[in-house]
Chain A
């Protein structure tokens, strides 16, 4: 995944076109603003959208498509950025448009536009079909789609308590500035804080006869505290990484307790200035879920994407060491017997939760790794047929796991990871139990620097906070810690995991994949886990 600031900005600006500021409207006026303007018909069950959807499918079919689908979407987003006592940016954003995907002669074409008119919909649908015809010139293996059960009228909505767009700007700004003040009071030199909210209204229709309307919400509050030594010889940051982005409403901001937590984050940033630099060597690592989710994301979720294993992402995201499918499915030992990994799009509050994916498939939960052995890939409709032999041999139907996703109306859908989570262990252990059971180790909280190779073997991870463990106790804070790993060796070293009560959902808004790069929002559930004898390096240098 890419979580550079540039990509975050891209997320907020693309998704955005907009959040046209309902939040800012006095409540009495809200109804009026909600009323559709002439150019922006309400989505969802709007008959104009449904008519345009049928027009798109018909136009693509008339232009020769054997299959076609269309997605209309309207995204409202809102970003608030502050530093110290100042608001740096308040942006409301709304974007709407549609994209048509057409299959002609076994090749895909895709075209998109922001103009929701009959003429433009018909033109874009024809454009998609014509592009597919041009693309077929290099055809080697025609696309075959796994069967899907049509959904004549489906609706789904992220279950939320508080629509973020009904909360006033003053309340949001106040929450951020109060958190900043609390951090400054506790010793921070600088504080950056932000909130991001998204509501996506998405309508999908296909030539298979599906018509699906979904409304998806996402929310992330974030605080980053910086401490600077008095002579400017050192600075350290602490980000609020244990507050993950989630598929929730404003209740997620409320529950994050930014003001209450800010002094702790500030004190930890200050403490990092005088933390002891780590001695390089091998340590037992006790990884907090707020850290481990990213290691799972990089070393388990990405390599088990079937398009990577088949070579389709070789030019950017890369291929996978979990390949070729026929040699690894049901055979590859990925990690210790404690390792059980499941894909799903249904966990409450998770970023990947939906009713149907972006090609109308109802997602199912599926095992990816069972007792340490790799058993299945993430798939879409065009990918599942590649595994037909394996599925038939194990008596299972050839069907997509529902992993199709597109970032926006202007992007073509393709395989993106669902929530990929490490299941809890059977024993009722928690973070403190794992530390108490460890003689010489390092406990890591929060995700930090991350990097992994294009086949997902060699990775390096930092963190937010590092604690030395000696004789079952935390004996002090460390800094400049990163661990290096080879994926199967690392997961083979898993020897202790937490129970159900210690389960936590981490995640990211901005997992990048595909060309042009699209971001996907995904959660990863996990429990505190211990890995034996892992290689730790010291990253501190003198400039």
Chain B
């Protein structure tokens, strides 16, 4: 296999020097005196899929895109290309300027930022960046071989990314950062089709992941979830595993836009006008933060416009403390723009999962959710279904697997009905199994969660 090892290489992406040279060259083609910005995104993605205990497909791809945004007076236009030669860059600049000239004046126009100071990013891992197809296949085999040996059927996905991004503008701003991300998820099913278990993890650092342990957790869930029984839909006390909490909490984050709140079209709008900053909206044990420099949920040190990202406390002890302001709305409202970076971390408590189960006379344990879609933005009401491990708790013990259930409920209501919180952990909470945003949340015990129908799906 030495021929394969020789192929191992660190992921391709543009270095700081390459990005500086490229942005300098592109900005050199700019003719408008009113400013322009160049964004570069560059990197490699490697993935291995497996199904029915064998690798089904994989992929390794490399791409770089350059986006030019040009301003003519108060007018703007953008053009993107993935060809980096002089002629293509020049054409991208010309196109952006041409569109800008044809665009109407923007009453909300803001000039490009001046130079900024940035902290160093904390989301790079050499181990992740050098994970090659053979080592991905070895990681997959650590799941598929035990599953096959146990007469179970494993399916899953290992997705790794390594790349860099840069922003530069005609005011002398330049920002560069590189980052890695990965996610490994598996669904293990019993051959009779009556049991299904899932496990997944996501981090920027592959060395934090133990594929065999992850596969074993999914296999155990598959076995335990065999032959589920029907229960009546209705309101239940629920112990949510951290992944299920992450599935739902991210919808609160998506509703944080300050402008929508001020315009009266958001949960965070206040009846009579204005927004809910200063209002208590959830249990006082809940604090929700985005912090791009927290090593647990690290993200990019700058945003698309080159604004330095910083820690944002959205909800502090149950009270809304800020919303997400873009530069225009911040200026209009007289506050600082937010630039949070997008990761999420929620406060926890001291309960263990075992304690939450032991203290429940009758309730459900939910592993994760599937096909979550908004139903009513006024209350952040979502619908979706449990999946891959839903169990009945009776008299403080998990007694049997139950059929999956559809719910119609809101993470806001959920965080008002808290019984107990556990220790926050990183989760893989994206629907598609990709790395998604960095999310760290605790397991929760919640009362009166609203299930509206049963599903026969396993």
Contact = CB atoms under 8 A, between A and B. Distances in A.
B269 A2 contact: no
Interface of B: 3-4, 7, 45, 47-65, 67, 76-83, 85, 87-88, 91-92, 95-96, 98-100, 102-104, 106-108, 133-134, 136-138, 140-141, 144-145, 148, 153, 155-157, 159, 185-187, 189, 193, 196, 198, 263-265, 267, 269-273, 370-379, 381, 383-385, 387, 404, 406, 408, 410, 412-413, 431-434, 452-458
Contact of B64 (A94, A114, A136): A114
A37 B80 contact: no
Interface string A114-147: 1100000000000100110111111111000000
16 contacts: A21-B95, A24-B98, A25-B98, A33-B91, A37-B85, A38-B85, A86-B108, A95-B63, A131-B133, A177-B104, A313-B51, A451-B385, A458-B453, A515-B47, A542-B379, A543-B378
Contacts of A138: 50, 53-55, 137, 140-141, 144-145
A83 B145 CA distance: 54
A112 B60 contact: yes
Nearest to A101: B57
A516 to B, nearest CB: 6
Contacts of A141: 52, 54
Contact of B59 (A86, A110, A449, A457): A110
A127 B61 contact: no
A371 interface: no
Interface of A: 2, 4, 13, 16-21, 24-25, 33, 37-40, 85-87, 89-97, 99, 107-115, 127, 130-131, 133-141, 168-170, 173, 177, 189-190, 226, 228, 231-235, 310-316, 318-319, 321, 410-412, 414, 449-458, 460, 462, 480, 482, 484, 486, 512, 515-517, 535, 537, 539-543
Contacts, number: 335
Given A458-B385, A516-B432, 17 more contacts: A87-B106, A89-B78, A92-B77, A108-B58, A109-B133, A114-B63, A127-B60, A135-B133, A137-B138, A232-B271, A313-B155, A316-B157, A449-B383, A455-B455, A516-B47, A541-B376, A541-B413
A92 B78 contact: yes
A114 B99 contact: no
Given A127-B7, A451-B372, A515-B47, A96 B82 contact: yes
Contact of B375 (A89, A311, A482, A486): A482
B75 to A, nearest CB: 8
B457 A318 contact: yes
Contact of A21 (B98, B196, B377): B98
Contact of B410 (A94, A114, A541): A541
Given A16-B80, A21-B98, A131 B60 contact: yes
Contacts of B78: 89-92
A438 B2 CA distance: 72
Contacts of A110: 57-60
Nearest to B450: A541
A145 B88 CA distance: 40
Nearest to A535: B453
Contact of A228 (B137, B263, B267, B379): B263
Given A138-B54, A449-B375, A458-B406, A24 B83 contact: no
Nearest to A462: B375
A235 B378 contact: yes
B379 A516 contact: no
A111 B53 contact: no
A18 B81 contact: yes
Contacts of A462: 375
Contact of A312 (B51, B145, B272): B51
Contacts of B455: 453, 455, 457-458
B80 A18 contact: yes
B181 to A, nearest CB: 12
Contacts of B377: 235
A133 to B, nearest CB: 7
Contacts of B381: 539, 541
B379 A114 contact: no
Contact of B387 (A17, A39, A109, A453): A453
Counting from the closest, the 8 A-B pairs by CB-CB distance are A458-B455, A455-B457, A453-B457, A517-B432, A112-B61, A21-B95, A232-B264, A515-B157
Contact of B271 (A20, A233, A310, A539): A233
A311 B99 contact: no
B54 A515 contact: no
A314 B187 contact: yes
Contacts of A19: 79
B457 A451 contact: no
A542 B410 CA distance: 11
Contacts of A455: 455-458
B49 to A, nearest CB: 6
Contacts of A311: 51-52, 153, 155, 189
A540 B376 contact: yes
A228 B265 contact: yes
Given A449-B373, A484-B453, A140 B52 contact: yes
A99 to B, nearest CB: 7
Contacts of B136: 134
Given A90-B78, A110-B60, A315-B156, A135 B137 contact: yes
A312 B456 contact: no
A232 B272 contact: yes
A484 B406 contact: yes
